[in-house]
Amino acid sequence: MRSSLTLSAAFILAAAVFIGMPNDGMAQNHSNRFTIVIHGGAGTISESMPESVKEQYYASLRKALTIGRDVLANHGTSMEAVEKVLRYFETDPKFNAGIGAVYTSAGTHELDAAIMNGATLRCGAVAGVEHIAHPITLAKLVMEKTPHILLAYQGADNFGREMGMKWVPNSYFDTPERKSELERWMKKIKEHDHGTVGCVCLDEYGNLAAGTSTGGLTGKMPGRIGDSPLVGDGTYADNQTCAVSGTGIGEQYMRYAVGFNINALMAYKRMSLKDAVHYIIHDVLKPGDGGVIAVDRKGNYAMDFNTTGMFRGVANSSGLFELKIWKDK
Ligand code: ASP
């Protein structure tokens, strides 16, 4: 009796290893096929930016995409890839997430982030973070360690401290570039600063995940929360349809529930990923509002925007590795 039990346990374990068992416990078909899409924000991005600056952006995008691609190529999960890519962006001062976050009208930083697992619909988010260096990891901890989805302000920072995350002064997020954007904003020079970061993936287990991290919009009122940490607006993932991360004027993304509606067009209207994304970006949102990246469960992907540019990249298990900023380059 005992040995037949041991035998069946061994059989189950072997079967789990054979079909693939990502560490969130979801056994899925193991296809060896993966796709990853990243963005580093959409907005007014001048094509006449100096060659050296362009190269710096491409180098950062290449690094982020390589980090995520390598996680997936080494049998990691989509959730792991999303977190790792966004943690990288949160340390790169060129992007509006972590160090390099934009300033509020009060000259401070309030960071938002969310992550969602398309296999389980479990998700976690934080808003108004002022002292935790990696909001995306804090969002993942909200998902894993609390019964809640969204923690904000002091409650979010204190939870991070309880979880043993590094506590940083708010000035840790300062950069001179973002400071001068705030100064221009104060002189009423209107521009949509870019740099929010996002990542969506399909892993070899057939699971989708999405994540977004941002400092929000330059000059936002203290207390303003954008679309990025709102599940269904700037971030959404469901294995039945797609994973989406948006970037742009958050209020528009909230008004039109962008992430959820792309998913809904696919689920209810049987639209393809590309058509659903195109419809929301070009027929629902207004020119200049922003862009999205998305991937579906077959590995089809979309990177669409209605601004002058969107920092973006895509890689997959067939060897595709592509980076772009403007329409064709
Ligand atoms: N969507 C972000 C927000 O409104 C900003 C951005 O993506 O540029 O907070």
> 107 CA distance to ligand 1 centroid (A)?
17
Q: Nearest Cα to 192, choosing from 220, 211, 164?
A: 220
Assess if residue 60 is contained within a domain.
Answer: yes
Is a pLDDT exceeding 60 seen at residue 26? Answer: no
Which residue among the candidates 104, 196, 214, 235 is catalytic per the annotation?
A: 196
Instruction: List Cβ neighbours of 207 (8 Å cut-off, separation of 6 or more).
Output: 22, 24, 26, 28, 77, 78, 79, 117, 118, 119, 239
Is a pLDDT exceeding 60 seen at residue 78? Answer: yes
Q: What's residue 188's pLDDT?
A: 80
pLDDT range class, residue 48, cuts 50, 70, 90: confident
Assess if residue 273 is contained within a domain.
Answer: yes
> 226 CA distance to ligand 1 centroid (A)?
6
Assess if residue 41 is contained within a domain.
Answer: yes
Q: What is the pLDDT of residues 171-214, one digit of tens each?
A: 999 999 999 999 999 998 777 778 999 999 999 999 999 999 99
Q: Which two tokens stand for residue 247?
A: 């970037």
Q: What's residue 328's pLDDT?
A: 83
Residue scoring higher pLDDT (77 or 32)? 77
Assess if residue 160 is contained within a domain.
Answer: no
Q: What is the pTM of this model?
A: 0.92
Assess if residue 132 is contained within a domain.
Answer: no
Average pLDDT over residues 110-119: 98
Average pLDDT over residues 260-288: 98
As a whole number of angstroms, the distance between CA 20 and CA 23 comes to: 10
Q: What is the pLDDT of the chain when averaged over all its residues? A: 92
Residue 72 near residue 185, CB atoms below 8 Å: no
Residue scoring higher pLDDT (17 or 55)? 55
As a whole number of angstroms, the distance between CA 329 and CA 316 comes to: 19
Q: What's residue 29's pLDDT?
A: 59
Active site residue 196: yes
Assess if residue 181 is contained within a domain.
Answer: no
Structural domain for 64, as ranges: 31-102+114-122+191-324
Is a pLDDT exceeding 70 seen at residue 259? Answer: yes
> 195 CA distance to ligand 1 centroid (A)?
8
Q: What's residue 307's pLDDT?
A: 95
Pocket lined around ligand 1, Cβ cut-off 6 Å: 41, 194, 196, 214, 216-217, 226-228, 234, 247-250
Q: What percent of the chain has pLDDT over 70?
A: 91
Assess if residue 257 is contained within a domain.
Answer: yes
DSSP codes, 59-101: HHHHHHHHHHHHHHHTT--HHHHHHHHHHHHTT-TTSSSSTTP
Which domain CATH number covers 84? Answer: 3.60.20.30
Adjacent-strand bridge partners of 323: 313
Assess if residue 51 is contained within a domain.
Answer: yes
> 255 CA distance to ligand 1 centroid (A)?
13
Average pLDDT over residues 163-171: 97
Nearest CA to ligand 1 atom 5: 216
As a whole number of angstroms, the distance between CA 214 and CA 216 comes to: 5
Q: How many domains does the chain have?
A: 1
Q: What's residue 317's pLDDT?
A: 97
Q: What's residue 107's pLDDT?
A: 97
Is a pLDDT exceeding 80 seen at residue 256? Answer: yes
Nearest CA to ligand 1 atom 4: 250
DSSP codes, 192-260: -----EEEEEE-TTS-EEEEEEE--STTBPTT---STTSBTTTEEE-TTSEEEEEEE-HHHHHHTTHHH
